[in-house]
C-alpha cells in the first residue's frame, strides 16, 4: 500500500504546558516550497508526464518516477509476478549485460533502483547533473528492453523464496498480512505484492517476458527530475530517450471493487513457534488519498498514535500500562482505501490485555472529541515538518510525484498550511466515527 508521510517530530506535549494555550501555527515561506512558479509539468505525446524543478544549490540531480504496473495485475496463481518482473529489469538489457549496467552506473557515482507496490512500479536514481543522459540511458533500457536472462531469474527466485521464508518467521509482517486478509475479504488488497512460495515457484521466464510486454508502457507513467538542471532541458532529455516509447497493447489494472465493511470484530491468531514477542495489528479499511476525509483522518491518526510518544495509543499502552515494546497507529491511504491500523509488540502473556486497552482507546477516539490542544499541536507538527521533508532533491522529487499521483495541483504545498488550519475538532471526530467501529475491527496476532 501506499504510505503517508513519515517525518514525525518527536515532541512530547507533556513537557511544556504553555503549548496547551491557544497559539498561532508556524508560518512557512512559500518561497521554500515547490509551486506553480518553479515546477514545470509537461505531458509528452506518448502519455508520459514529466515534472521538473531546478535546484542549483546542488551539483547532482534525482530522477524518480513510476510506471502503472503493480501487484493488482498479478494472476492469482502467480502472485508476485509484477514484483519479480521489476527486480529483474536490471539483470540485463539488449544493449548491456547485468554487470555492464552496474559498472556503467558505479563508475560514474550514479545509482538506480526499482520497487514494486500494489498499483505501480517505482524507480529512483541519482547522478551528477552532467550525467543525466547516462541515467536516462539506463532507465530507458531497463524499462523498454530487458531480456530476463534465465540464470539471473533463478538467482532472483532463490532470493525471493528466502525473503518469503523470513517473512513467515517475522511476527510483524505476518500480523500485518493477516490484518489485510481480515479487512479486505474478497478484495485484491488482501494479496501480498511479493506473493507466496507456491506462486513464486510457478513463475517462468515466459511469464516475466509477457508481463513486461503487456503491462509496461508510457501511458500513465510519470518521471520527475529535481536538481542542478534547467527544467526545459530536463524535459527535452526525457523526450529524447523515452519520447518514442509506445505500447499500443498496454494493459492497465482492473477497477477496484468496493470494500465489504466488517459487521463484527474478526480475530485471527497465527502461531509462530520460538518467538519471545507477539505482534498485534488491529484496524479497518481507511480513506483513500483522494477522499475529502483524508487530511482530517491524517490529523486524527497523528493524535491517535503518532505524535510525541506515539500519541494516545503509545501513552496508554506503552507509557502508562507498560504493556508494549512499541505501540502506534498508521494511516496508509493511497490510490485506494489502505488500512487504518493500530499495532503493538507485546509479551505474549499481555496480548488480550493490550487488545482490550487499544479497543478502549479507539472507542474514546470515536466517541469523544479530541482536545483543542491535541489538534493545534498536530496541526503545528504537520505544517512544521513539511519543509523538513523537502530539504533534499529526493524529498522534493517524492513530493512532486505525490502531486501527480493524487492530482493535488501544483500549488498544493503552498496551500498546505491553510488546508491544515481549516480542519476542526468536529471534522476529526466525524471522520473517526465514519471509519472506526470499535465493535467491528479486524484483529490479527502473530506470535508463539
Mean pLDDT of the chain: 93
Mean pLDDT (whole number) for 71-80? 97
Strands 442-447 and 266-271: what pairing?
A: parallel
The domain limits of the chain are 35-242, 261-447
pLDDT tens, 262-320? 999 999 999 999 999 999 999 999 999 999 999 999 999 999 999 988 999 999 999 99
Does 21 have pLDDT greater than 60?
no
Q: Do domains 35-242 and 261-447 have the same CATH topology?
A: yes
Does 163 have pLDDT greater than 50?
yes
Mean pLDDT (whole number) for 226-237? 97
Mean pLDDT (whole number) for 169-189? 97
Does 327 have pLDDT greater than 50?
yes
Q: To which CATH superfamily is domain 35-242 assigned?
A: Metalloenzyme, LuxS/M16 peptidase-like (3.30.830.10)
Mean pLDDT (whole number) for 12-40? 62
Closest to 283 measured CA to CA, from 444, 441, 432, 171 = 441
CA distance 300 to 423: 10
pLDDT at 29: 58
Query: What would you measure as the largest C-alpha separation in the chain, in angstroms?
Result: 65
pLDDT at 23: 53
Please, what CATH class does the domain formed by 261-447 belong to? alpha beta
Torsion of CA 94, 95, 98, 104, to 10 degrees: -160
Mean pLDDT (whole number) for 115-128? 97
pLDDT at 17: 36
Does 214 have pLDDT greater than 70?
yes
Angstrom distances, CA of residue 333 to CA of 67, 189, 292, 362, 389: 19, 12, 12, 18, 19
> Residue with C-alpha cell 512500479?
121
CA distance 157 to 154: 5
pLDDT at 32: 78
Does 199 have pLDDT greater than 70?
yes
Closest to 362 measured CA to CA, from 402, 313, 406, 412 = 313
Give 102-109's long-range contacts (Cβ < 8 A, gap of 24+): 104/134, 104/138, 105/134, 105/135, 105/138, 108/134
What are the backbone angles phi and psi of residue 447, rounded to the nearest 5°?
170, -170
Does 80 have pLDDT greater than 50?
yes
Q: Euclidean distance between the first and final Cα of the chain, in Å?
A: 27
pLDDT tens, 3-12? 333 333 333 3
For 169, the grid coordinates are 518467521
Amino acid at each position: 500500500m501506499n504510505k503517508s508521510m513519515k517525518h514525525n517530530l518527536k515532541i512530547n506535549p507533556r513537557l511544556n504546558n504553555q503549548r496547551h494555550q491557544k497559539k498561532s501555527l508556524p508560518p512557512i515561506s512559500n518561497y521554500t516550497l515547490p509551486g506553480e512558479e518553479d515546477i514545470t509539468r509537461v505531458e509528452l505525446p506518448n502519455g508520459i508526464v514529466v515534472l521538473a524543478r531546478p535546484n542549483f544549490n546542488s551539483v547532482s540531480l534525482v530522477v524518480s518516477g513510476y510506471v502503472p504496473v503493480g501487484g493488482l495485475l498479478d494472476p492469482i496463481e502467480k502472485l508476485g509476478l509484477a514484483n519479480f518482473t521489476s527486480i529483474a529489469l536490471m539483470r540485463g538489457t539488449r544493449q548491456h549485460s547485468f554487470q555492464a549496467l552496474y559498472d556503467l552506473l558505479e563508475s560514474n557515482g550514479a545509482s538506480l533502483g526499482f520497487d514494486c507496490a500494489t498499483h505501480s512500479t517505482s524507480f529512483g536514481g541519482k547522478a551528477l547533473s552532467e550525467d543525466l543522459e547516462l541515467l536516462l540511458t539506463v532507465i530507458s533500457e531497463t524499462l523498454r528492453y530487458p531480456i530476463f536472462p534465465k540464470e539471473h531469474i533463478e538467482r532472483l527466485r532463490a532470493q525471493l523464496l528466502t525473503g518469503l521464508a523470513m517473512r513467515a518467521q517475522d511476527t510483524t509482517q505476518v500480523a500485518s498480512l493477516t490484518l489485510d486478509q481480515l479487512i479486505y475479504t474478497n478484495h485484491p488488497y488482501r494479496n501480498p505484492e511479493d506473493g507466496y512460495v507456491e506462486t513464486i515457484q510457478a513463475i517462468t521466464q515466459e511469464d516475466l517476458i509477457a508481463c513486461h510486454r503487456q503491462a509496461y508502457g508510457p501511458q500513465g507513467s510519470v518521471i520527475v527530475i529535481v536538481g542542478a538542471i534547467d527544467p526545459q532541458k530536463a524535459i527535452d532529455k526525457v523526450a529524447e530517450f523515452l519520447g518514442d516509447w509506445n505500447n499500443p497493447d498496454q494493459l492497465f489494472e482492473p477497477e477496484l471493487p468496493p470494500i465489504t465493511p466488517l459487521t463484527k470484530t474478526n480475530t485471527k491468531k497465527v502461531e509462530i513457534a520460538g518467538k519471545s514477542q507477539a505482534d498485534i495489528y488491529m484496524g479497518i479499511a481507511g480513506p483513500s488519498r483522494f477522499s475529502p476525509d483524508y487530511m482530517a483522518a491524517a490529523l486524527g491518526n497523528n493524535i491517535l498514535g503518532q505524535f510525541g510518544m506515539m500519541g494516545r495509543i503509545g501513552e496508554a499502552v506503552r507509557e502508562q500500562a507498560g504493556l508494549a515494546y512499541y505501540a502506534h497507529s498508521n494511516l496508509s491511504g493511497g490510490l485506494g482505501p489502505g488500512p487504518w491500523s493500530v499495532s503493538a509488540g507485546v509479551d505474549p502473556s499481555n496480548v488480550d490485555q493490550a487488545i482490550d486497552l487499544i479497543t478502549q482507546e479507539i472507542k474514546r477516539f470515536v466517541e469523544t472529541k479530541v482536545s483543542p490542544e491535541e489538534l493545534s499541536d498536530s496541526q503545528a507538527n504537520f505544517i512544521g515538518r513539511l519543509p523538513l521533508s523537502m530539504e533534499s532533491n529526493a524529498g522534493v522529487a517524492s513530493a512532486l510525484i505525490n502531486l501527480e499521483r493524487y492530482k493535488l495541483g501544483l500549488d498544493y504545498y503552498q496551500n498546505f498550511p491553510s488546508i491544515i488550519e481549516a480542519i476542526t475538532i468536529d471534522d476529526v471526530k466525524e471522520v473517526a466515527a465514519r471509519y472506526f467501529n470499535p465493535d467491528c475491527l479486524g484483529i490479527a496476532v502473530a506470535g508463539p
